[in-house]
Amino acid sequence: QPQLQESGPGLVKPSETLSLTCTVSGDSISNTINYWGWIRQPPGKGLEWIANINYSGNAYYSPSLKSRVTISVDTPKNQFSLKLSSVTAADTAVYYCARYNWNQGNSDYWGQGTLVTVSS
Amino acid sequence: DIVMTQSPLSLPVTPGEPASISCRSSQSLLHSNGFNYLVWYLQKPGQSPHLLIYLGSDRASGVPDRFSGSGSGTDFTLSISRVEAEDVGVYYCMQALQAPHTFGQGTKLEIK
């Protein structure tokens, strides 16, 4: 079954860009029925959807974050990535990558999550 | 954005007793294809969320049959027929009808 693993810096300075990568195993990013996405969870709070993307680069973004977010895919490496610019303390969260099953309308496989702290 | 509202936010339950969680959406989640794009997740302490129910009432693979989802349009319910100790955690509903996908606030189930 698919496995997803987030990687990237755990500490980012305010105003800088947060960059995370999700490596997928057990499935192909090029699978045409799936999208791949990011969800975050501030400490002690609920879940917030950020964006989804498919193998061809067709992407959907949260309007509240769209001006600062870039999501991309690297099909040869079977990875997808998130960049969030101009971060503040409010962007401190556990960031999860997940596979989105388009037909079933759900994120059926999730990574373990990675905590990113924004602090100087 | 579609607003998702869950109730209750806290749910103490005695093992073996039933439990239910309500989720309401600010817009209908019924797609023209006849499916409701409503998902239920459980986040156990210290873990990632995992999928319980999708399309309003379809159980995900490996999910015990004591979990069931019902509802249509704007009103949905997650039911647990007999709560077990391993069911503790925070339950979230999420709409996947349109971007941005939005989650309810979460319902924390605890054992009495």
The pLDDT tens digits of the residues spanning A7-54 come to 999 999 999 999 999 999 999 999 888 999 999 999 999 999 999 999
**pLDDT score for B14:** 96
Whether B9 and chain A come into contact, CB under 8 Å, resolves to no
Asked whether the predicted pLDDT for residue A102 surpasses 90, the reply is: no
What's the rounded mean pLDDT across residues B61-78?
A: 97
Q: Contact, A95 vs A82, CB < 8 A? A: yes
pLDDT at A31: 86
A-B contacts at Cβ under 8 angstroms: 60
Is A110 in contact with B58 (Cβ distance < 8 A)? Answer: no
DSSP assignment of chain A, as one string?
Answer: --EEEEES-SEE-TTS-EEEEEEEESS-TT-TTEEEEEEEE-TTS--EEEEEE-TT--EEE-TTTTTTEEEEEETTTTEEEEEE-S--GGG-EEEEEEEEETTTTEEEEE---EEEEE--
Q: Kindly identify which residue of chain B lies nearest to residue A59, measuring between CA atoms.
A: B99
In B, which residues are within 8 Å of A104 by CB distance?
A: 54-55, 58
d(CA A16, CA A119) in angstroms, rounded, equals: 10
